[in-house]
Amino acid sequence: MNNFLHYTKEIEQIEDFDIWRDKIEKYCIADCISLYEVLIKFRTLIIQKFNIDILKYPTIPSLAFAIFRMHYLKSNTIPLTTGKVFDFIKQSFTGGRTDMYRPNGLNKNIYVYDINSLYPFVMSKFKYPIGQIIQFEGDPTILDNKYWIGDVDVSTKKDMFIPPIQLHGNISGKSGGIRTISPNGSFNTKLNSVEYDSYLDYYNFKINSGYLFDTDYVFTDYVNDLYTIRKSYPKSDPMNYISKLLLNSLYGRFAMKNIKNNYSFLDKSEFLTLLENSDVEIENYIDLNDSLFVNYVDNSELDKESKSSISIASAVTAYARSYMYNVIKDNVQNIYYSDTDSVYIDKELPKDLISSKELGKFKLEYIFKDSVYLGPKIYAGITSDNDYICKIKGFKNSIDFDLMKSLLIKDSSINLMHVKWFRSLVNSNITLKDQIYSLQKTENKRIIIYGQDNIAASTKPYNIDK
């Protein structure tokens, strides 16, 4: 059962502003002192373990990157990606798979499994693109021990219930727009070689061009060392949580593009000159009458001092999708929902896939005895322990399960009210506004199929042709 004792504290009402101000001041001072002490302790732990000062690194990904570069990276190993190479490979970086396959999980036991550290696992297990980047045309598969990311024409050999390859697509129809989908049919996409190797049984491929790399184990020691640290401390110890953050924060740092925001006070003529520069994008500005305070990006500076290697980030997510698909394809008849590192199925996974401590193994989080799935990141259910879990992307509050169940009916929707924050640099304020959130089933990624009772029963993938 949920513990609500924290919310039963008596609320102190203060009418005198001076008293209220003094109390708020004391609270803020105590809050700052607590944060300071946490940061000092964090700094000490990182210096002791890695001989790195956190004061030089403003984010956890930048700190993880610094630890990796100082202690684990071999010189001249990972190539930097800039300019047209970065832009090409970025199209292959589509993230994890999140899909709803069967909406109706009522009166069914749905086993919810999470994988233990998916991205760190694939980082430790597989070889990654390294060395000189070589542009190619034609078929690179005749070369051994090469990793490639290419422009590929793809067509499914037959219609599949869950096609493995996902791409950014523009789908006409009820929902329309550009989104990440896994379709049947034929299309052009940017593909990692690991996906080509994994899905030869399902697709016909024609590789047109791309970039070629050597391969090596790049992250194995980093992941193994940090995971050993994590396991050596109980969950209550800060080092357990710190090592977890450092494990999961590294890969995304390789996908960063070097975008530097410039902030300047300019007179009107300087501002007009800036507007005429085709390399400059104005993010925002404040008119101060005699001058303007301008926030802008100069695209001519983007590749300077760049330390990104998006080929690494793209490969990590490609390996992860391939690994997860091996589980999904073995449970096509039983799966209801999947997220980047989790599956929701109506049977138990084999015991050889289960472990709460081993990287890359699954652990049972809970069992739904009643559940509904309305779209990616939109689901609710009652567990076997009678806990209610409700997830609605973009909406903070939980809503009643009966309302969620009613949305299985065709053309049903619910209008919910929630408060959103809007920040304005121009007006130097934050505004709270009530907004309507329209909750309904979504066909953004798959087409919903209804039974004779007009209740959502299943889904099917989109079918597209290039």
Half-sphere exposure of 152 (CA within 13 A, CB side): 28
Concatenated DSSP letters of 145-166: S-EEEEEEEEEESS--SS-S--
**Calpha distance 285→125 (Å, rounded):** 48
Whether 461 and 97 have beta carbons less than 8 Å apart is answered as no
The answer to whether the beta carbons of residues 247 and 117 sit under 8 Å apart is: yes
Nearest to 264 by CA among 299, 298, 284, 293: 293
Does residue 441 contact residue 87 with C-beta atoms inside 8 Å? no
Helices (H) and strands (E) in the chain, counts: 10, 21
Q: Distance between CA atoms of 191 and 84, rounded to whole angstroms?
A: 16
Question: Would you state the pLDDT for residue 14?
Answer: 79
First to last CA, the chain: 52
Q: Which ranges of 16-72 does DSSP label H, i.e. alpha helix?
A: 17-50, 60-71
One-letter-per-residue 3-state SS of 72-129: CCCCCCCCCCCHHHHHHHHCCCCCCCCEECCCECCCCCEEEEEECCHHHHHHHHCCEE
Q: What's the rounded Cα separation, in Å, for the pair 68 and 1? A: 42
Contact yes or no for 115/121 (Cβ under 8 A): yes
Vertex 27 angle, CA 24 and 29, to 5°: 110
Determine the Cα–Cα distance for residues 458 and 449; give it in Å rounded to an integer.
Answer: 5
Question: What pTM value is reported for the model?
Answer: 0.84
- Which tokens sit at 210? 């791309």
Q: Which of 219, 229, 166, 239 is nearest to 444 (CA)?
A: 166
Task: Give the Cα-Cα-Cα angle 11, 12, 17 (nearest 5 degrees).
Answer: 140
**What pLDDT, on the 0 to 100 scale, is given for residue 168?**
78
pLDDT of residue 272: 86
Burial of 119 (0-12, 13-18, 19+ CB in 10 A): buried
Whole-number Cα distances in Å, 63 to 5, 43, 217, 247, 261: 37, 11, 21, 11, 21
Asked if 338 and 115 count as a contact pair (C-beta separation under 8 A), the reply is no
CB-based contact 141:207 (threshold 8 Å): yes
| Tokens standing for residue 269 | 């003529």
Q: Is there a contact between 101 and 379 (Cβ–Cβ < 8 Å)? A: no
- Is the CB of residue 99 less than 8 Å from the CB of residue 227? no
Q: Residue 117 and residue 342: Cα distance in Å, rounded?
A: 11
pLDDT for 117: 93
Q: What is the pLDDT of residue 419?
A: 78
Contact 147, 215 (CB under 8 A): yes
In the prediction, which pLDDT does 20 show?
87
> Each residue's pLDDT tens digit in the chain (466 positions)?
455 555 555 667 778 888 888 989 999 999 999 999 999 999 998 999 999 999 999 889 999 999 999 999 988 888 888 889 998 999 999 989 999 999 999 999 999 999 999 999 999 999 999 999 999 999 999 888 899 999 999 999 999 999 999 987 665 544 456 788 999 999 999 999 999 999 999 999 999 999 999 999 999 999 999 999 999 999 888 889 999 999 999 998 888 766 667 888 888 888 888 888 877 888 888 888 888 888 888 766 655 555 689 999 999 999 999 999 999 999 999 999 999 999 999 999 999 999 988 999 999 999 999 999 999 999 999 999 999 999 999 888 889 999 999 999 999 999 988 777 777 766 667 787 888 888 899 898 999 999 999 999 999 999 988 6
What pLDDT is stored for residue 186 in this prediction?
Answer: 94
Question: What is the radius of gyration, based on Cα positions, of the chain?
Answer: 26
3-state SS class at 361: coil
- Helices 118-125 & 310-329, crossing angle to 10 degrees? 110
